[in-house]
Structure 1
Amino acid sequence: MKKLLYIGWIGFNNLGDELLWNIFKNTCRKYFKDDEIEITPSVPSVDLKNLDKFDIVVLGGGSLLLPGYLQVLQNALHKGKSVIIWGTGLDWIGKENLDLLLEDKLLSLEQNFKQKDIEVLEEVIEKALFIGVRGPLTKKAIEIMLGNEKSKKVQLIGDPGLLLEGHFQGRRGEKEKVIGINWGTTFNRLYGGNEKLVEKQIVKTAKKLIAKGYKIMIYTVWPSDIPSCERLYKSINNPENVEIDKNRYTEQELIEKLSKCRATINFKLHANLLSLAAGVPAIALGYRFKVFDYAASLGLEHLVVSADSLNLTQELLERVEIIENTGETILKQYQSKKTNYIPLLESIFTSDTL
């Protein structure tokens, strides 16, 4: 029996990270018998410095391409363990560098990766069995750090959240005019550095949507987001037309809940994929690099509104209009990309990689 360590941000009740672990675990069960592989998730009690009992270490979905986790992978390689990178990505790249990257003008990522970190990344990529990253911006950033030749092994395989199974409720035109809003906190670590201002703009957006005949459903994907959602609900101050749902759902329960919406506006990254899995086009608040990376992987960059936008309310309202006019096209785009990514995401299970 092979013993595998799955590294993710697990055990903190964040639905996005938990669903990525569930997807990995369930896909393993789909392709392997119980006596073939034993998986340990990296819950807080697991010591990432003691890898002796594992044969394979998998850096899973999320935004985990960070120096600390790369060091864990390097240590695993030095102990003779097999290493796999599966659907993870970069984050924490500043807005100025993101804009330069999008314009193919970024020359260095020294703000995020020092030379010693780049050397660790280079060794991990050279020796890992498989390197599959979430989005094209992550891939491009790695190429900037290592050069094209040393980055050849890096594959774009999409976010593992694309393996979520959908739940579709009725035709788009038959749905109530409900807009789901996922709000929360990132403790002010967002583009523009002003979470309160973004919240005020979302309140303004919600009020304008209500005036257009929409109802609002506020929902969370992380318990720490509840106070922010409660504040948003009180600020909109329209209980007749606004519902706040503070329940902690599984991914499948939330997909079913979201399936009644016409569109969603989402702060947290995986709320967008949960919405799309429900057959509901999603507007992403581009609060950090990872959101732009996700959107670029699906060709849905036009549905991202940057958190530092000076016209955030107007841009959100414009995206709702785009969804009302082209919602079916957006969902077809998502399904097409998903169809392309699924074999890539499942390739570590269907080949001899694991």
Structure 2
Amino acid sequence: MKKLLYIGWIGFNNLGDELLWNIFKDVCGKYLDKERIDLTPSVPGIDLKKIEKYDTVVLGGGSLLLPGYLQILQNAIQKGKSVVIWGTGLDWIEKRNLDLLINDGLNSLEQNFKQKDVEVLDEVIDRALFVGVRGPLTKKAIEIMIGSEKAKKVQIIGDPGLLLQEPNTDISNEKKKVIGINWGTTFNRLYGANETFVEEQLVETAKTLIKAGYKIMIYTVWADDRPSCQRLYDKINDPDNVILDKNLYSENELIAKLSRCKGTINFKLHANFLSLTAKVPAISLGYRFKVFDFAESVGLQYLVVSTDSKQLAQDLLERVEYIEKNEAKIIEQYQSTRKKFEPLLESPFTGNLL
């Protein structure tokens, strides 16, 4: 019996991280012999410093390329365990450095990774069985830290959220003139450092869309986001045209609900995957590095609006107008990208690395 530890930020009722774990389980079920695999998720209570009993450690989806998690992987490698990095990515890189990185002008990431952290990253990448990251910006950042030659081993395999499937339950193709808005909090740790401003801009956006004949559906993917969603609903103050849905759905349930929208505006990263899986164009609020990394990976950069924009409402309305005219093109782009990344995401399983 092979013992496999999956590391993710799970057990906290955050739909994005939970669905990544569910996807991993599904792919394991598709390719691995259940009778020969003992699969353990890193839920609260699992001591990640005690890994002696595991044969393989997988750093799963999410923004987990952080010094603390890399030290866990280094420890695993030094104890003779197999290590696989599967669709994870960087985050927490400040906006100025993001802009420099996109324009090939960034020379250092020492604000995020000290020299000792870079040395750990170097060793982990060198000795891991497989290194697959979420997007091109993550790979670019790794190249800056350890050099492009050593980073050749790093593959861009996409976010595991790309493996989301439309549920078997009936999804209506009858879209209504509804814009879904996913709102929440990151406790002000976002580009622009002003959640209140972003919220006010969402209020302005929603009111303008209502005047244009749209209905608004506010929804959440994390319990901690409910107060923010309630506040947004109260500020719009239009119960005839705004639905507030504070239920926490499974990924399949939420895909079904979103499938009836014309478009969505999303704060949390994986709300975009759920929307696009439902064949509904998604506008991303670019609140941290990971959102831009995702957009670069799927070729939908224009549909990201940075939360430090001084004209956020205007930018969002321009994107809504864009998706009205280009719905089929956006979904086709996403689906073609998904088709490209699916075999890469499944390659550790098909290549007998797990």
Is it true that 1:41 corresponds to 2:41 in the alignment? yes
**2:195 counterpart residue number:** 195
In structure 2, the residue matched to 1:126 is 126
Corresponding position: 1:327 with 2:305: no
- SS of the aligned residue for 2:48 comes to coil
Alignment check: 8 A CA contact 2:171 2:259 kept: yes
**Cross-structure match for 2:338:** 338
Q: Secondary structure at the match of 1:152?
A: helix
CA distance in 2, matches of 1:206, 1:42: 39
2:231 aligns with 231
Paired with 1:140 and 1:34, the residues of 2 have a C-alpha distance of: 37
Aligned counterparts of 2:338 and 2:30: Cα–Cα separation in 1: 19
Q: Which residue of 1 aligns with 2:137?
A: 137
Which residue pairs with 2:313 in the alignment? 313
The reply to whether residue 175 of structure 1 matches residue 182 of structure 2 is no
Q: How does 1:217-228 map to 2 (within 5 A)?
A: 217-228=217-228
* Cα distance in 2, alignment partners of residues 340 and 142 from structure 1: 22
Equivalent residue, structure 1, for 2:116:
116
Q: Distance in 1 between matches of 2:51 and 2:344?
A: 27
- TM-score scaled to structure 2, two decimals? 0.98
Secondary structure of the 2:244 match is strand
The match for 1:272 is 272
Written as runs of structure 1 = structure 2, the 5 A alignment for 1:1-354 is 1-166=1-166, 169-171=171-173, 174-354=174-354
Q: Which amino acid aligns with 1:268?
A: K
How far apart are residue 170 of structure 1 and its match?
A: 4.9
Across the two proteins, how many residue pairs are aligned to each other? 352
1:176 shift after superposition: 1.0
Find the residue that maps to 2:35 and give its secondary structure.
Answer: coil
Q: Structure 1 CA distance, aligned partners of 2:32 and 2:286?
A: 38
Equivalent pairs: percent with the same residue? 71
- Structure 2 unaligned spans of 5+: none
Q: Normalized against structure 1, the TM-score is what?
A: 0.98
Provide structure 1 residue ranges, at least 5 long, that are not aligned to the other structure: none
- What's the CA shift for 1:33? 2.1
Q: CA RMSD in A?
A: 0.8
Check conservation: 2:175, 2:259, Cα contact below 8 A: no
- AA aligned to 2:247 is N
CA contact (8 A) 1:295 1:304 kept: yes
**Aligned-pair CA distance for 1:18:** 0.2
Please give the alpha-carbon distance, in whole angstroms, between the structure 2 residues aligned to 1:269 and 1:64. Answer: 14
Partner SS for 1:184: coil
Q: 1:281 & 1:18 partners in 2: Cα distance?
A: 22
Q: What SS does the corresponding residue of 1:84 show, helix, strand or coil?
A: strand
Distance between the aligned counterparts of 2:143 and 2:36, measured in 1?
Answer: 36
Answer yes or no: is the 8 Å Cα contact 1:166–1:279 preserved in 2: no
- Cα offsets for 1:75-125 (capped at 9, x unmatched): 000110000000000000000000000110000000000000000000000
